[in-house]
Amino acid sequence: MAHFPGMERRATFAIGLLHYPVYNRRGEICTTAVVNADIHDLARLARTYGALKYYLVTPLPAQEELVGKLVGHWTKGYGARFNPSRAEALSLVKVLPSLEACREDMKGLTGKEPKVCVSGANFSEELTSHEELRELMKREDASFLIVFGTGWGLAEEVVKKADYRLAPIKGLNGYNHLSVRCAAAIILDRLLA
């Protein structure tokens, strides 16, 4: 199997999925509901590419409780015995109320302030390409928090404050309507594989 080795490079990064503040389809700031497939798919991605944490960002205590129950099922007791590789992935999930809290948490884990890199299908200005970010993440002192949005995308206040805006994934004839699950998969693979 030497011809197809597993990944060996370990970058210091975490991913975050923001449920607030994001836009709804009318362009208003809203809080989206947590989606079960997003919890599982992004946790498995986080584990595959070696993320320190997968932050699920929601300010709603009821949603935090729900995620706690779902994650608990797979990381403790029957679910963990049924599927140990799923437990390994879901143990990376941490629910926090804000992006600021994620930065603080990551700082606590790594001892340094992470650079925040946001992603979005509609970004058009001041973009960082996947290749550029890939190079930045190779530096020894690199620590990155890569942020994905939900709903109709991250609120401008989040995008403005970020250190980097990742160039969107453009498909054939400019089609750019991937699910966040698929977009996150492609982005992590381009940055880290």
Please, what is the Cα angle at 29 between 27 and 33, to 5 degrees? Answer: 110
Question: Residue 120 and residue 117: Cα distance in Å, rounded?
Answer: 10
Residues 13 and 136: beta-carbon distance below 8 Å? no
Site membership for its own copies, residue 167 (CB under 8 A):
yes
Counted residue by residue, the chain has a size of: 193
Among 76, 112, 156, 186, binds its own copies (CB under 8 A): 186
Site membership for its own copies, residue 45 (CB under 8 A):
yes
Q: What mask of x and - would describe binding to its own copies in positions 48 to 77, judged by CB under 8 A?
A: xxx---------------------------
Instruction: Assess whether the previous peptide bond of 5 is cis (omega < 30° from 0).
Output: no
Site membership for its own copies, residue 178 (CB under 8 A):
yes
Site membership for its own copies, residue 5 (CB under 8 A):
yes
Q: What mask of x and - would describe binding to its own copies in positions 112 to 131, judged by CB under 8 A?
A: ------------x--x-x--
Alpha helices by DSSP H, 50-83: 61-75, 77-82
Site membership for its own copies, residue 169 (CB under 8 A):
yes
| Residue with smaller CB distance to its own copies, 10 or 139 | 10
Among 24, 33, 37, 139, binds its own copies (CB under 8 A): 37
Question: Residue 100 and residue 95: Cα distance in Å, rounded?
Answer: 13
Distance of CA 76 to the CA centre of its chain: 23
Closest CA to 92 of 10, 16, 183: 16
Question: Residue 111 and residue 91: Cα distance in Å, rounded?
Answer: 21
Site membership for its own copies, residue 78 (CB under 8 A):
no
How many residues touch its own copies (CB under 8 A)? 46
Give contact residues for its own copies (rule: CB under 8 A).
1, 3-8, 10, 37, 40-41, 44-45, 47-50, 85-86, 88-89, 124, 127, 129, 167-179, 181-186, 189-190, 193
